[in-house]
A and B are shown apart, each in its own frame.
Chain A
């Protein structure tokens, strides 16, 4: 029984891949309305293109030019697309795929990965750790903040590196890897947890304050937390509502002080 010969591609080295990944951390450095993250993507993939087309500067120029087209994705999830684009560029350089293959790959995946990244990282994981750090700061001070940030970054960097590696290793099959992670379901739980942490923070704020009386402070903090939530749910704008909360707190204190003859 004979097996089919595997096509031999040009491969970029591990060091070049590491350089590409590091450069991907600058993906949004020159975000612009015409090309969005295009400059960042071209900057990130350039070491790989340089390695693949070392002997042919004209092909390298063409390759970089095609990556200057519009691109926009979540900055963490974009690492998977960068890895996959290098995977395809290796095949383009080896003559196995047409030059349009990396562009099709990017165009197909950028939308879905942006949705997954925004939905999981920006609206769930980061707020969850933000709320954890805030509550920790109120209760335990800066060590809690340091721990929350360390855990967040351990998770985020692990996933970012894994996305890049899997994108490079599997190309289009990266979608299956992401589907297995069930990030949307996890995101929902994290949002619920973050909302709960915000509620606990409202009580922690009052317990840490030293105003008028403990009971009065608790009443003001709880009222602001409840009325503020209702106002925002009804469409109140954030900063005007925040000013209204401050004025209400100051006004309450002045009124109570006047009643008790302190002011």
Chain B
């Protein structure tokens, strides 16, 4: 049932991402939360959603250029995180560092699915050429309504591909996490710091995607301001 819910979320996201609406509902920040919600753990979904949104902030579909399929990658990563954490909790592991450790393993396992998604997107575009030919045939046959409606058939293949691939990716991540459970137990703090490094890098990726004059300055200044605020808060807390 979990995998079915994940598949439906991934399929709907694939439709929203390009074929219908494009209202940010298939961006990682929304999708991570939706995937978590579908699996009964919104917090874990949201935990991975923010860094993934920043990592793929520059992933946009401009003209004929195809970006990586960040939606497919996100559903698999969020699903793998929730299911993997559930497996480890069942094995008796716990603690605040469990979620970051599981999340970083899910990212390592499922992030390449975003590249696979780009390949399947290309296949879908080729497949849609057949729909174009079909529409032309319908028009010649004197059925303009059927010709126009052909457009909607283009939603089916992206839905189907993501419906299958995202749960497979999540299952692979959950299985991997279960296999390395004993090792995870020993290396929890190290994996947790791996997650912090990944999240820091994701911020860099987001900033780098912003092609504006002085964007680097804004990024560095914000880090400086953040660090100063952090230090001030820590000092105030120490005095108190």
| Same complex origin of A and B | yes
A residues touching B (Cβ–Cβ < 8 Å)?
A: 25-26, 28-36, 38-40, 42-43, 46, 49-50, 57, 60-61, 64-65, 68, 72, 75-76, 114, 118, 122-123, 126-127, 129-131, 133-135, 137-138, 141-142, 145, 148-149, 152-153, 156-157, 188, 191-207, 209-212, 214, 216-218, 220-229, 231-233, 238-239, 241-243, 245-250, 252-254, 257, 262-263
Query: With A75-B22, A232-B204, A246-B104 as given contacts, are A36 and B64 in contact (CB-CB < 8 Å)?
Result: yes
A57 touching B151, Cβ below 8 Å: no
By a CB distance below 8 angstroms, the chain B residues around A46 are 144-145, 148
Query: With A145-B33, A209-B192, A225-B201 as given contacts, are A233 and B206 in contact (CB-CB < 8 Å)?
Result: no
Indicate if B216 sits at the interface (CB-CB under 8 A): yes
A114 touching B63, Cβ below 8 Å: yes
**Contact digits for B219-239, partner A, Cβ 8 Å, 1 yes 0 no:** 111111111011000100000
A199 touching B46, Cβ below 8 Å: no
Interface centre among A38, A49, A142 (most CB of B within 10 A): A142
Indicate if B39 sits at the interface (CB-CB under 8 A): no
Indicate if B92 sits at the interface (CB-CB under 8 A): no
A-binding segment of B2-10, B49-57, B82-90, B164-172: B49-57
Question: What is the distance, in angstroms, from A168's C-beta to the closest C-beta of chain B?
Answer: 19
Complex A-B: 16 CB contacts under 8 Å: A33-B125, A118-B62, A123-B58, A130-B29, A134-B51, A145-B30, A199-B218, A200-B222, A203-B226, A206-B230, A217-B196, A220-B197, A223-B200, A226-B220, A232-B208, A253-B193
B190 touching A253, Cβ below 8 Å: yes
**Contact digits for B77-113, partner A, Cβ 8 Å, 1 yes 0 no:** 0000000000000000000110010001001100110
Question: How many residues in B have their beta carbons less than 8 Å from beta carbons of A?
Answer: 102
CA distance A141 to B49 in the complex (A): 11
By a CB distance below 8 angstroms, the chain A residues around B190 are 249-250, 253-254, 257, 263
B192 touching A133, Cβ below 8 Å: no
A202 touching B223, Cβ below 8 Å: yes
Q: Name the prevailing secondary structure of the B interface residues.
A: helix
A250 touching B215, Cβ below 8 Å: no
Cβ contact of B132, chosen from A39, A199, A204, A206, cutoff 8 A: A39
By a CB distance below 8 angstroms, the chain A residues around B25 are 149
By a CB distance below 8 angstroms, the chain A residues around B213 are 188
CA distance A207 to B226 in the complex (A): 10
B194 touching A249, Cβ below 8 Å: yes
Indicate if B180 sits at the interface (CB-CB under 8 A): no
By a CB distance below 8 angstroms, the chain B residues around A141 are 46
Cβ contact of B201, chosen from A142, A188, A191, A242, cutoff 8 A: A242
Q: Name the prevailing secondary structure of the A interface residues.
A: helix
Question: What is the distance, in angstroms, from B197's C-beta to the closest C-beta of chain A?
Answer: 3
Indicate if B44 sits at the interface (CB-CB under 8 A): no
Question: Which residue from chain A places its CB closest to the CB of B209 in the assembled complex?
Answer: A127
B203 touching A31, Cβ below 8 Å: no
Question: What is the distance, in angstroms, from B7's C-beta to the closest C-beta of chain A?
Answer: 20
By a CB distance below 8 angstroms, the chain A residues around B64 are 33, 36, 72
CA distance A261 to B111 in the complex (A): 33
Question: What is the distance, in angstroms, from A158's C-beta to the closest C-beta of chain B?
Answer: 13
B196 touching A199, Cβ below 8 Å: no
Indicate if B175 sits at the interface (CB-CB under 8 A): no
Query: With A39-B128, A122-B62, A202-B223 as given contacts, are A246 and B108 in contact (CB-CB < 8 Å)?
Result: yes
Question: What is the distance, in angstroms, from B138's C-beta to the closest C-beta of chain A?
Answer: 10
A191 touching B215, Cβ below 8 Å: yes
Query: With A156-B23, A220-B196 as given contacts, are A199 and B145 in contact (CB-CB < 8 Å)?
Result: no
CA distance A225 to B68 in the complex (A): 22
Interface centre among A206, A241, A243, A250 (most CB of B within 10 A): A250
Query: With A31-B154, A198-B204, A199-B218 as given contacts, are A25 and B139 in contact (CB-CB < 8 Å)?
Result: no
By a CB distance below 8 angstroms, the chain A residues around B227 are 203, 218, 222
